[in-house]
Amino acid sequence: MTATTIGLLLFPNLTQLDLTGPLQVFSRLPDAKVYLVAKTMAAVTSDTALMLPPTIDFAGCPQLDVICVPGGTGTDDLVNDDDTLAFLRRQAEHSRYLTSVCTGALVLGAAGLLRGYRATTHWSALEDLKAFGTIPERSRVCIDRNRISGGGVTAGIDFALTLAELLADRATAQAIQLMLEYNPAPPFNAGSPDTAPQEVVAMLKQRMQGARQRRIDAIRRAAERLSVGSAPAD
């Protein structure tokens, strides 16, 4: 039996929990080989003090069964990064699952790989998916054919357990959940704009305004590039 190859994309300024949540789940799968793939072998910055060393670069990366793109402010650069988009398109031709967490979905979108698909992303970025011909779905985990996307940051854990069942079986996924004691009990009910106190939602949106404008600009450029034909046809 050949191992399932799973590659998680590393890039500067990713939100590290988008990556490390799924990484934890995937690493407990029997018969899986997990790669941390980046453009070069240099460690990349995350949004925290943790630097992230890749285990393989684009050039050395084998064909992956599963590709997972995490999110973060770094996706604003990635959606216009030719090397990364070309790598994803090349891998997508023979991969079993194309997946994302948080704003990683925008990168798959910018590569033209979510056109006509439903997908989810961080609550603040849902509408941005439309620029790439993607139907936004407000859910924790969204499965459309072989495209699987998770919502914002911590949704990566729910996404990865969902995928673990597809790659192995339900008992294996449940054993991983039990080992990780994933029996969540958030101290507050503020994990969604629907449940958080409205003054908290307003404060956060206010604080995100600068980042929001940068993302809108990046998406607009990426969508223009895509429409002039650099992406594969559906």
**Count of chain residues binding a second copy (CB under 8 A):** 65
x-or-dash pattern for a second copy, window 158-197, by CB under 8 A? x--xx--x----xx-xxx-xxxxxxxxxxxx-xxxx-xxx
Report if residue 65 touches a second copy, rule: CB under 8 A: no
Selected binder of a second copy within 11, 35, 97, 117 (CB under 8 A): 35
Report if residue 99 touches a second copy, rule: CB under 8 A: no
Maximum Cα–Cα distance across the chain: 54
Report if residue 157 touches a second copy, rule: CB under 8 A: yes
The span from the CA of 3 to the CA of 30, in Å, is: 8
Report if residue 17 touches a second copy, rule: CB under 8 A: yes
CB 9 within 8 A of CB 69: yes
3-state secondary structure of 174: helix
Mark the segment that binds a second copy (CB under 8 A) among 58-66, 109-117, 154-162, 217-225: 154-162
Degrees, nearest 5: CA angle 186-34-111: 85
CB 80 within 8 A of CB 225: yes
103-124 burial code (b ≥16 CB/10 A, e <16): bbbbbbbbbbbbbebbbbbbbb
> What are 105's two structure tokens?
């979905």
CB 111 within 8 A of CB 89: yes
Mark the segment that binds a second copy (CB under 8 A) among 28-36, 59-67, 90-98, 130-138: 28-36
Q: Which residues lie near a second copy (CB under 8 A)?
A: 15-17, 20-21, 23-24, 27, 34-36, 43, 47-53, 55, 102, 122-123, 140-141, 151-155, 157-158, 161-162, 165, 170-171, 173-175, 177-188, 190-193, 195-197, 199-201, 203-204, 207
